[in-house]
Amino acid sequence: MIIVEGSARIPEGAWDQAQAAMETMIKASREEVGCIEYAYSRDLIDPNLLRIIERWKDKSALVSHFAEPHMAVFRAALAEVAPQDLQVRMYEAEPEPLPL
């Protein structure tokens, strides 16, 4: 499994514009083959901090995701928002349940 996690700072006053683009992206991405989870969230303590979490079946599913037409639309919309401190990382993982 591939896990993508990241964060970005959404500029003051740009959250509504960013949210509209993110909602479209989330819906389209969740329909992709190999997408296990795809979510963005707003930090509870820092309301301008965006959290990113994605889980993909494998690296080829993630590579295919980057080639999707909705990715190009999202990148253009994101450029208009101009997020700051964008950091996104990819990790390979073998999932194991945590004993709770």
Q: What pLDDT score does 95 carry? A: 87
Query: Which uninterrupted H or E stretch holds 38?
Result: strand 35-42
- Pairwise CA distance, residues 58 & 80, whole Å: 30
Q: How does strand 49-56 pair with strand 2-9?
A: antiparallel
The one-digit pLDDT tens for each residue of the chain (100 residues) are 999 999 999 999 999 999 999 999 999 999 999 999 999 999 999 999 999 999 999 999 999 999 999 999 999 999 999 999 999 999 999 988 889 8
Pick the closest to residue 5 from 32, 41, 33, 30 (CA basis). 41
pTM reported for the whole predicted model? 0.90
Question: Are 11 and 81 within 8 A, CB to CB?
Answer: yes
CATH 1.10.3720.10 fits 2-92, yes or no: no
Retrieve residue 55's tokens: 């889980």
